[in-house]
Amino acid sequence: MRRLKLVIPDSNYKNQVLSRLTKNFKADIIGRLLTMGYNEPIILEGPYSEAFLVNSKQLSIIKDLIAVGKHPYCSGIHIATIFGRVKKRIEYSLAFTELLLKIGLRRSIIVINDWGERLVLYGRDVLAGSIIDIYPPIYKGSNVIIVNRNFEFIGIGKSLYSFKEIMKLRENNPQKVVVKNKRDLGWYLRRGM
């Protein structure tokens, strides 16, 4: 069992955490969550860290638990897992990414056809020919949200090409892998149990 330390960030650390978590999507998503009442990040630190957003009532309960020697493992909305001490790598949670879509994010999204959806849900990568639509910006190496033709969230991937390169590959090389599957909803059935 890993040793965890619950950290309730001060205002400076809070702003660093929030800006780091939203940097990839370049949108004011956290601003929308703040208006929904989720305005306090908490961090479980250890060999890797877990970031959560809680509302003020949840934060009050957490502080009361800490005062009596209890340390909750999680609370609120799980945003991401943060790996590394020096060069931090962030893996956004599936729940948080799906929430981004529900509150209106329309950036860095790849829409795939039914065949592509099946492949992604089995842990496979996205082929250029299975892409129906793209919501830029898409940069080589950036995170992308993968949705099906009904705009239902199915996974998170890493783009292997830029937007323009993907558009060319759709026409010229449809069997080319263009997005590496990082995690998808099928993960819960394959490994999450």
Buried b (16+ CB within 10 A) or exposed e, 114-137: eebbebbbeeebbbbbbbeebbee
Beta bridge partners of 83: 48, 89
Claim to verify: residue 92 and residue 128 sit in the same structural domain? no
Check whether residue 145 and residue 111 sit in a common domain: yes
Are 110 and 86 part of one and the same domain?
no
Return d(Cα 160, Cα 139) in angstroms, integer: 8
94 and 118 assigned to the same domain: no
132 and 177 assigned to the same domain: yes
pTM equals 0.81
Cα-Cα-Cα-Cα dihedral sign, residues 86, 70, 72, 63:
negative
Identify whether residues 96 and 110 lie together within a single domain.
Answer: no
Q: CATH no. for residue 19?
A: 3.10.450.220
Domain of 180, in residue numbers: 106-190
Q: How far apart are CA 180 and CA 146, in angstroms?
A: 11
Per-residue pLDDT tens, the chain, 193 aa: give them.
Answer: 456 677 777 777 777 766 666 665 555 666 677 677 777 888 888 778 888 888 889 889 988 988 898 877 778 888 888 787 655 677 888 888 888 888 877 889 999 999 999 999 999 999 999 999 999 999 999 889 999 999 999 999 999 999 999 999 999 999 999 999 999 998 777 765 5
Alpha-carbon torsion, ordered 146, 20, 6, 192, to 10 deg: 10
